[in-house]
């Protein structure tokens, strides 16, 4: 069998791994990458004429965004996901901003392709074993702790076992239970009496540790209160899935007189999280409570809130690539009394990254210097460096494939792996084929 990388190879974005086995093609994720002014997708999707099954790890667009694209090509095949993942992915795909962006990527990309993809979705439960209709692949979804519905995927085909961690988080948050992959894989390999044949690991934070969570929360709340006391607005751009709801659970500790607004996709996603029964979401009731306190911003009220004073606004998107957070930034970036607090990893080439690193805000392709205060907190939902190290050291495996990280993060993990594990180590580029 061959494992071929079509994205997230020496980068974060457009995750898509093909497994070619006995004339069949299986895909692990099919994502897109949002860049300044557009979207790119795994190029090989133009060439494929057949897919036998897709295993979707989670709802983020860099993992799920390309699915309607090949539905458009009528490559009907089962798309395996947890129920929560598809509910959220569907919302994200149907979001007007994404549709506009994705149609630019491919003019044929239409709402009906999303509906078509939905028809092919097959729900899977965590920790159950399933088999593809062709009988070739046995697979199991494990809790990845990354966002609601997220999974690491264990596949067995041609008598070989592959674990695709996808995006994973080792720390429990207010919203989510931590990933249990390491303990589960140690137990399973023990039972099998054999190591994994292939371990495919994400390395987003391969060269960095996360600060202790409790400390980050404390510093974040202090920053919000201090910023609010300066009299202007506080904008907190947050990823709509998981992060925004996590931030709201933390902001619930603010005194009642500080008004909290929620805008964008995060509101609908909060409702999905509240009403779904995903076993790894911890704070369903607490989230319900916070949603009662939060003021919902709408297209009609947005302007007055942005131009007013003293509002704490949580809005999507988290990297300022679209959604109302761009609108609020446009109104706030020249206001010295206001603050923008970023809450996670900012991918290279995004507006959020320019805002943070260069204090520049890009509008209609032009850069403007920013005079509001900009801060950033690490609320990452990815394994930090030592959690990655522990994973590759403790889970017995023969081949280690490192992906979903920029060059320096990947290289740092590869270097560590060379001295600490005895497996074959791969850091594939796009198009690279690894034979197993």
Footprint of Zn ion (CB under 5 A): 60, 167
Instruction: Using the minimum distance from each CB to Zn ion, give the nearer residue, 234 or 387.
Output: 387
Instruction: Using the minimum distance from each CB to Zn ion, give the nearer residue, 168 or 421.
Output: 168
Instruction: Using the minimum distance from each CB to Zn ion, give the nearer residue, 106 or 146.
Output: 146
Smallest distance, Zn ion to C-beta of residue 181, A:
15
Instruction: Using the minimum distance from each CB to Zn ion, give the nearer residue, 72 or 243.
Output: 243
Instruction: Using the minimum distance from each CB to Zn ion, give the nearer residue, 189 or 204.
Output: 204
Query: Could you give the C-alpha distances from 368 to 69, 266, 371, in angstroms and in order?
Result: 35, 28, 10
Smallest distance, Zn ion to C-beta of residue 129, A:
25
Smallest distance, Zn ion to C-beta of residue 91, A:
15
Residue 304: exposure state from Cβ atoms within 10 A (0-12, 13-18, ≥19): exposed
Instruction: Using the minimum distance from each CB to Zn ion, give the nearer residue, 60 or 267.
Output: 60
Nearest to 163 by CA among 138, 195, 132, 200: 200
CB 156 within 8 A of CB 197: no
Smallest distance, Zn ion to C-beta of residue 414, A:
21
Smallest distance, Zn ion to C-beta of residue 342, A:
17
Smallest distance, Zn ion to C-beta of residue 186, A:
24
Q: Is 145 left (phi over 0), alpha (psi -120 to 50) or beta?
A: left
Smallest distance, Zn ion to C-beta of residue 250, A:
20
Smallest distance, Zn ion to C-beta of residue 272, A:
16
Instruction: State both tokens at 190.
Output: 């023990």
Nearest to 33 by CA among 400, 379, 406, 360: 406
Smallest distance, Zn ion to C-beta of residue 146, A:
6
Q: How far apart are the first and last CA of the chain?
A: 5
Query: Could you give the C-alpha distances from 59 to 15, 240, 293, 353, in angstroms and in order?
Result: 12, 11, 27, 22
Smallest distance, Zn ion to C-beta of residue 226, A:
31
Task: Give the 3-state secondary structure of residue 101.
Answer: helix
Task: Give the 3-state secondary structure of residue 186.
Answer: helix
Instruction: Using the minimum distance from each CB to Zn ion, give the nearer residue, 188 or 381.
Output: 381
DSSP string, 15-33: --EEEEETTEEEEE----E
Instruction: Using the minimum distance from each CB to Zn ion, give the nearer residue, 60 or 72.
Output: 60
CB 347 within 8 A of CB 318: no
Instruction: Using the minimum distance from each CB to Zn ion, give the nearer residue, 52 or 167.
Output: 167
Instruction: Using the minimum distance from each CB to Zn ion, give the nearer residue, 14 or 60.
Output: 60
Instruction: Using the minimum distance from each CB to Zn ion, give the nearer residue, 72 or 404.
Output: 404
Q: How far apart (Å, rounded) are the C-alpha atoms in residues 220 and 226? A: 10
Smallest distance, Zn ion to C-beta of residue 425, A:
23
> What DSSP designation does 333 have?
T
Q: Is 86 left (phi over 0), alpha (psi -120 to 50) or beta?
A: alpha
Q: How far apart (Å, rounded) are the C-alpha atoms in residues 387 and 393? A: 10
H-assigned helices in 121-212: 181-192
Instruction: State both tokens at 261.
Output: 């607004």
> Hunting for tokens 């190879």 — which residue is that?
9
- Return phi, psi of residue 184, to 5°: -65, -40
H-assigned helices in 193-295: 213-229, 243-251, 266-275, 284-293
């Amino acid at each position: 069998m061959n494992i071929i990388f079509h994205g997230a190879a020496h980068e974060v974005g457009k995750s898509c791994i093909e497994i070619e086995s006995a004339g069949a093609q299986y895909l692990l994720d099919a994502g897109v990458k949002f860049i300044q002014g557009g979207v790119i997708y795994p190029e090989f999707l133009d060439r494929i004429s057949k897919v036998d099954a897709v295993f979707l790890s989670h709802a983020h667009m860099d993992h799920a965004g390309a699915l309607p694209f090949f539905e458009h090509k009528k490559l009907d095949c089962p798309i395996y996901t947890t129920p929560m993942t598809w509910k959220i992915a569907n919302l994200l795909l149907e979001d007007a901003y994404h549709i506009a962006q994705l149609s630019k990527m491919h003019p044929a990309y239409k709402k009906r392709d999303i509906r078509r993809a939905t028809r092919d979705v097959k729900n899977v439960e965590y920790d159950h074993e399933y088999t593809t209709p062709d009988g070739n692949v046995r697979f199991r979804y494990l809790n990845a702790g990354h966002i609601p519905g997220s999974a690491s995927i264990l596949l067995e085909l041609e008598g070989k076992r592959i674990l695709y961690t996808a995006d994973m988080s080792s720390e429990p948050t207010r919203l989510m239970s931590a990933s249990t992959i390491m303990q589960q894989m140690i137990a399973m390999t023990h039972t099998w009496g054999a190591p994994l044949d292939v371990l495919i690991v994400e390395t987003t934070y391969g060269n960095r540790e996360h600060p202790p969570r409790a400390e980050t929360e404390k510093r974040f709340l202090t920053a919000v209160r201090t910023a609010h006391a300066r009299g202007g607005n506080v904008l907190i751009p947050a990823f709509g899935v998981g992060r925004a709801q996590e931030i709201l659970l933390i902001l619930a500790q603010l005194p009642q007189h500080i008004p909290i607004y929620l805008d964008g996709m995060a509101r609908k996603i909060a409702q999905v999280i509240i009403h779904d029964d995903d076993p790894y979401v911890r704070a369903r009731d607490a989230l319900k409570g916070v949603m009662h306190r939060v003021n919902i911003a709408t297209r009609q009220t947005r302007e007055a809130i942005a131009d007013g004073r003293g509002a704490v606004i949580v809005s999507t998107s988290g990297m300022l690539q679209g959604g109302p957070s761009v609108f609020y930034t446009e109104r706030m970036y020249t206001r010295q009394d206001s603050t923008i607090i970023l809450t996670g990893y900012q991918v290279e080439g995004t507006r959020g990254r320019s805002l943070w690193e260069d204090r520049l805000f890009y509008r209609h392709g032009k850069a403007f210097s920013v005079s509001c205060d900009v801060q950033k907190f690490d609320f990452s939902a990815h394994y930090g460096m030592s959690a990655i190290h522990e994973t590759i050291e403790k889970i017995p495996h023969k081949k280690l494939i490192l992906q979903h990280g920029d060059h320096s993060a990947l290289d740092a993990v590869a270097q560590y792996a060379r001295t600490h594990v005895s497996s074959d180590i791969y850091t594939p580029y796009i198009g690279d084929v690894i034979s197993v």
